[in-house]
Amino acid sequence: MTEARKALRRELRERRAAITVPERMAAAAAVADHLLELPALRDARHVAGYWAIGGELSLHAVLGRLPQASRYCLPVLRDEGKLAFAPWRFGETIVTNRFGIPEPADLVGLLEPAALDIVLLPLVGFTRDGHRLGTGGGWYDRSFAFRHSAMPPPWLVGVGFDAQRVEHLAAEAWDVLPDAICTETLTLQAPPHEHIPHE
């Protein structure tokens, strides 16, 4: 992790922390609307999300509106530094992993990354040309490294606030490029990267 990326993450986390609760709630609802416009989500059987921590944009508004046939999954840490994904519903038991992040307690039906249809990725920052800055642990980049040479599915969609956008991000060789990034006011889709404004 470069010093420049560390400093950028600190700055972006401060920006995210400054977003007020009403702004967060409105953004989560708007993002849910935009995500549900994506054909990849409307048609998905296996949808992976995340448990929002540290000011990340909540996906509860999405979870409550998924198609009936969809199974929602949360990431589970594996010893080899990669993720698997466990089906989970509101009210089911969770446990916290070594980083204090909630995971499903029931790991029956655990899915490998390649078995998913769409993955909603948390992010710390993003650029207009569709690059995502994660938390720095590399879990998603390692888990979805096969997407460097494979087309979707799974579709990878970064999710965040407008305030997390930066003008430039120096890409690293291991960075996995999302297929789209969605905020409360825009969807950036790739390839090719295309700015789709929302009214």
> Domain limits of the chain?
3-189
Tell me the C-alpha distance between 144 and 151, whole Å.
Answer: 11
Say if residues 179 and 155 touch (Cβ distance below 8 Å): yes
Q: Does 3-189 carry CATH code 3.90.1640.10?
A: no
- 116 token code pair: 């998913």
3-state class (DSSP) for residue 76? strand
Say if residues 16 and 183 touch (Cβ distance below 8 Å): no
One digit per residue, the tens of pLDDT, for the chain of length 199 reads 578 888 888 999 999 999 999 999 999 999 999 999 998 898 899 999 999 998 999 999 999 899 888 999 999 998 888 999 999 988 899 999 988 899 999 888 899 999 999 999 999 999 888 888 888 788 999 999 999 888 889 999 999 999 999 888 877 777 888 999 999 998 988 754 344 444 4
